Structure 1
Amino acid sequence: MGPTSAATRSERLSSSISGGSVASALWSSPRQADRPGHLHLNRGRPVDGLPRPLEATLLRTRVLTSVVAIPVVLSAVYVGGWVLSTVVAALALLAALELRRLALAAGAHWVCPVGVAAAPVAVILAMLGPVTPGLVIVVTTLVTLGWALARQAPPRESALGAASTIAISVYAGALPALFVLLRATPGTGAPSGGIDAGLAWTLYALAVTWVCDALAYFGGRAIGRRPFFAHVSPRKTAEGAAIGLAGAIGVGVLAAPYLGLSWPIGLTLGALCGVAAEAGDLAESLLKRAAEVKDSGTLFPGHGGVLDRVDSLLFVAVVTWISAQVSGAVG
């Protein structure tokens, strides 16, 4: 795709957002330059070269958004059940739309609508048990392959479209569903301080993710020098990643007694969650790099889109859900 095409799509996205049409912005497929010389404000990266007033404004916006969003998230997590699954399903739908836009910008010619629809459906049906999200993905795969064959398009185009559709259903559907399943983990008792095990594990997943992300961001800004996966995220630093990982390990050790774990297990779990959080961040950065956009969306001022806020948490949810199941089985 040439520069003229990219500029046209970028202008279309800008116009749709300024006109207040969120849906139009999400369903368009812009490509914005994400290369040296362009402004990078992504999470976990230092913002070298920005004027100090802009740095301060960005940080203030991020903090204000977090102050509003965190109580809402914690309230939904505390209530759990259908309230949490409904909130997560709404976010999953928005994330799927963002992924669709990234896929089209990265070169996919089409994305089957069933892939986007599967995301919230998988989350809602997770309330019926851990098997149902997997069934949604299986059905999505079969329908998508049938769709690809029916289009009678060139094989490369069909394969890329089918792969993008299935990946969207997994990334924006199955992974958020694990967060709902984590909250539904059964059990109560002294190890979790008297609260139910599902709430304890879910709060842990949030805490370890937020601490890792925050420390990586501020640590990278403060002392970051050495690049970390520069081909994916040019301004991410090894120092920031190390500080974030150390924070995740600290949370794991501190939370271990409340999860019924020994401190060595808590340390190991914290390290795994830290690696997962940073891998999730890098994975989303890879997708944005391929699509040549700075942020996945604009829903959260100062933070970007839904994917920009939950990329780390989605990967941490996998680690914590598996750990919760193993812990419950052993216990």
Structure 2
Amino acid sequence: MLKTRVITAIVGICIAIGAITYGGLLYNGLVALLTIVGWREFLVMMKRRKIELPYVWGYPAVIMVMGCLLAGAYTTALTAVVVLYLLLGVYYTFSARSNELTAIAYGCLGFTYTVSGMAALILLRDHTVYEVFRLSFIPTSPGVYYLWLLLLCTWASDTFAYFAGRLWGKRKIVPRISPNKTLEGFIGGFIGCICTGLLYAFIAGIAVHDGIAIGALVGVAAPLGDLFESKLKRDSGVKDSGVLLPGHGGVLDRFDSLLFAAPLTLVYLLV
């Protein structure tokens, strides 16, 4: 199992480095594909809970929104999401099924959860988006710099939390959801994120306050994303969300922290 995890991790890191460095259609296409797989994993977990989500609009909606993002039509993608939710409201209003609202609500939750996080990863990599960001200093190829800052802080959160929890962990946070998560581990992960953001800012030459701020945001959002997905799996009675990544589970297992941290990072850079 350990050997499989290591091999998968090495292959994944190599693919990530290549895709992020090259960007464009390669990177966006990979993120779009992962989004579709993540949506499918969410549907399967909900099905295990006897919640039948609307497959008819789900896949086409995900493909349509990610397609707009692939084409750089960000306004169209946002418009499509708003129109989709309005149409679902109209559909529910005239539906004769009493339990339709439950399916629509869970469907919208899963759609927002998977698509918004992945969409943020696409927007953060796009250099042209930074023209509207209110940053004190924008380096050359800002998408690469800030995306790696997000990724490194997210990985630091998990790594520092693990070791801090192993060394000093005593107070369980949410034992029903994740028995191994401790307050000491969370604090260690949070401090590790800030230190990583600060160090990365010095090395990459970006604004120090951006490194610290994004590190702090990720230090809170990443563990929350992890706990959210853990509760989804526990409620669905599954160990992993999928089997796409041998030894690591599915897309939601590997991107759970980023699905919370990426949108928050994007909002920080925008405002």
Structure 1's 145 and 71: CA in aligned 2 closer, same or farther, altered over 3 A?
Answer: same
Structure 1's 175 and 243: CA in aligned 2 closer, same or farther, altered over 3 A?
Answer: same
**Residue 163 (structure 1) aligns with:** 105
**Residue 53 (structure 1) aligns with:** none
For the pair 1:228 / 2:173, whether they are aligned, the reply is yes
**Residue 87 (structure 1) aligns with:** 30
For the pair 1:68 / 2:14, whether they are aligned, the reply is no
Q: Distance in 2 between matches of 1:168 and 1:135?
A: 18
Asked if structure 1 preserves the Cα contact closer than 8 Å seen for 2:149 and 2:211, the reply is: no
Q: Distance in 2 between matches of 1:323 and 1:130?
A: 18
**Residue 148 (structure 2) aligns with:** 203
**Residue 260 (structure 1) aligns with:** 206
Same amino acid, percent of matched pairs? 34
**Residue 183 (structure 2) aligns with:** 238
TM superposition shift of 1:103: 1.8
**Residue 238 (structure 2) aligns with:** 293
Residue ranges of structure 2 left out of the alignment (5+ in a row)? 132-136
Larger radius of gyration: 1
| 1:29-74 CA-partner distances (Å, limit 9, x unpaired) | xxxxxxxxxxxxxxxxxxxxxxxxxxxx4x4432221111011012
Q: Distance in 1 between matches of 2:247 and 2:161?
A: 17
Q: Distance in 1 between matches of 2:176 and 2:120?
A: 30
TM superposition shift of 1:148: 4.4
Q: Distance in 1 between matches of 2:161 and 2:243?
A: 22
| RMSD after superposition | 2.5
Asked if structure 1 preserves the Cα contact closer than 8 Å seen for 2:170 and 2:184, the reply is: yes
Q: Distance in 2 between matches of 1:65 and 1:297?
A: 14
TM superposition shift of 1:129: 4.0
Q: Distance in 2 between matches of 1:202 and 1:302?
A: 25
Aligned residues: 264
Asked if structure 1 preserves the Cα contact closer than 8 Å seen for 2:217 and 2:265, the reply is: no
TM superposition shift of 1:204: 0.9
* Most deviating of 205-214 and 143-152: 143-152
Q: Distance in 2 between matches of 1:316 and 1:259?
A: 22
**Residue 84 (structure 2) aligns with:** 140
What TM-score, normalized to structure 1? 0.72
| 1:90-138 CA-partner distances (Å, limit 9, x unpaired) | 0000000011112222342333432233224323312424323322322
Alignment of structure 1 residues 247-326 onto 2, 5 Å = 247-257=192-202, 258=204, 260-263=206-209, 265-326=210-271
Secondary structure, counterpart of 2:174 in structure 1: coil
Q: Distance in 1 between matches of 2:214 and 2:53?
A: 39
| 1:301-323 CA-partner distances (Å, limit 9, x unpaired) | 22111000001112111122123
**Residue 134 (structure 2) aligns with:** none
TM superposition shift of 1:276: 0.8
Residue ranges of structure 1 left out of the alignment (5+ in a row)? 1-56, 327-331
Asked if structure 2 preserves the Cα contact closer than 8 Å seen for 1:98 and 1:297, the reply is: yes
